Amino acid sequence: MQNLNLFFFPECPFCQKVLKFIDENKIEGIELRDINKDEAKEKELIHLGGKRQVPALKIGDKIMYESDDIIEYLSTSK
């Protein structure tokens, strides 16, 4: 699996959905980036994708949005 980074914030229900999937399926190797705790990570997300939308999964140099799309990607990339 490629280098993956998940941009999120804990209060987001769609982020929680993705985090729960990651935990329940014991998916490793995803760096979690809480954009509310780290302004640099928030700026990185905006720089990469042009918006502050979470959850956002960074796959290499691309950004994927939408919890269902992220879960589908993770479920087929194990």
Spell out the domain ranges in the chain: 4-76
CB within 8 Å of 7: residues ≥ 6 apart = 33, 35, 41, 44, 45, 54, 55, 56, 57, 58
Give 32-67 pLDDT, tens digit per residue: 999 999 999 999 999 999 999 999 999 998 999 999
CA distance between the termini of the chain:
7
The pLDDT-based confidence of 1 (bands split at 50, 70, 90) is low
Q: Pick from 54, 14, 7: which is nearest to 33 by CA?
A: 7
Prediction pTM value: 0.93
Read off the pLDDT of each residue in 22-31 and give the average, rounded to a whole number. Answer: 95
Say what the pLDDT of residue 78 is.
Answer: 64
CATH dotted code for 4-76: 3.40.30.10
* Mean pLDDT value across the chain: 94
